Amino acid sequence: MEPLEIPCPSVLAERGFRLEWETADHLPFLRRLFFALRGPESRFLPFPEEQRLAFLEQQFQLQYRQYHSAYPDPRHLILTAPSGPAGLLYLASAETDQGPGLRLVNFQILEDFRGQGLGQALLAEVQRLKMPVILSVEKQNPAMRLYHRMGFAPYGDNGMSWAMVWLP
């Protein structure tokens, strides 16, 4: 599949946001985003704080390597606000029942930027590509509301998460 150009949605560009390809310079941000998401979940672990943080770092490294090795043609994009990185959008090619499509591998917005329409604008830009989009989302993830609003429908259930699809 040819590389896809995913422009920064104009509604975000007007506010000073931009989409850029992920580079090694983004690693501190990616770590911070991972710790912001998974850190609160890890508070229940029966580890001293130092061990808990080491565990989170190990989990971050494993996830980072997985995302960067599992997909032959990843599109790892970073959403950057005027003040610095604000989120990420990881896409990869996927075969769907409807033919070639995209997999939404990872999609996160820093908490300070949530509720401002960023996620909706980015998903709408992906949908403008007119390709089926599949994703997996934990059932308790608040992003489920956004996915439903954007027309994604469940097509599979593994107990903890939904497989969802959007069709053009």
100-122 exposure pattern, b = at least 16 Cβ within 10 A, e = fewer: ebbbbbbbbbbeebbeeebbebb
Specify the pLDDT at position 137.
93
DSSP-assigned letter for residue 3: P
100: phi then psi, degrees, rounded to nearest 5:
-60, 140
Cα–Cα distance between 17 and 118 in angstroms, integer? Answer: 9
Count of structural domains within the chain: 1
Assess contact for 1 and 73: CB atoms under 8 A: yes
Whether 2 is covered by a domain: the verdict is no
Compute the C-alpha angle 24/26/30, nearest 5°: 115
Specify the pLDDT at position 141.
87
Per-residue pLDDT of the chain (168 residues; tens, 9 = 90+): 445 678 889 999 999 999 999 999 999 999 999 988 887 777 777 888 888 889 889 999 999 998 888 876 778 999 999 999 999 999 998 888 888 899 999 999 999 999 999 999 999 999 999 999 999 999 888 889 999 999 999 998 988 999 999 999
Structural domain of residue 142, as residue ranges?
A: 10-166
Assess contact for 73 and 101: CB atoms under 8 A: no
Specify the pLDDT at position 71.
78
Whether 42 is covered by a domain: the verdict is yes
Whether 3 is covered by a domain: the verdict is no
Whether 4 is covered by a domain: the verdict is no
Q: Which CATH number characterizes residue 104's domain?
A: 3.40.630.30
Cα–Cα distance between 160 and 156 in angstroms, integer? Answer: 11
* Predicted TM-score (pTM) of this structure: 0.87
Specify the pLDDT at position 68.
84
Residue 10's alpha-carbon distances to 16, 109, 152, in angstroms, are: 10, 18, 23
Tell me which residue of 130, 26, 131 sits closest to 79, measured CA to CA.
26
Whether 1 is covered by a domain: the verdict is no
Tokens of 29: 């941000």
Name every residue whose Cβ is closer than 8 Å to that of residue 60 and which is 6 or more positions away in sequence: 30, 31, 34, 35, 38
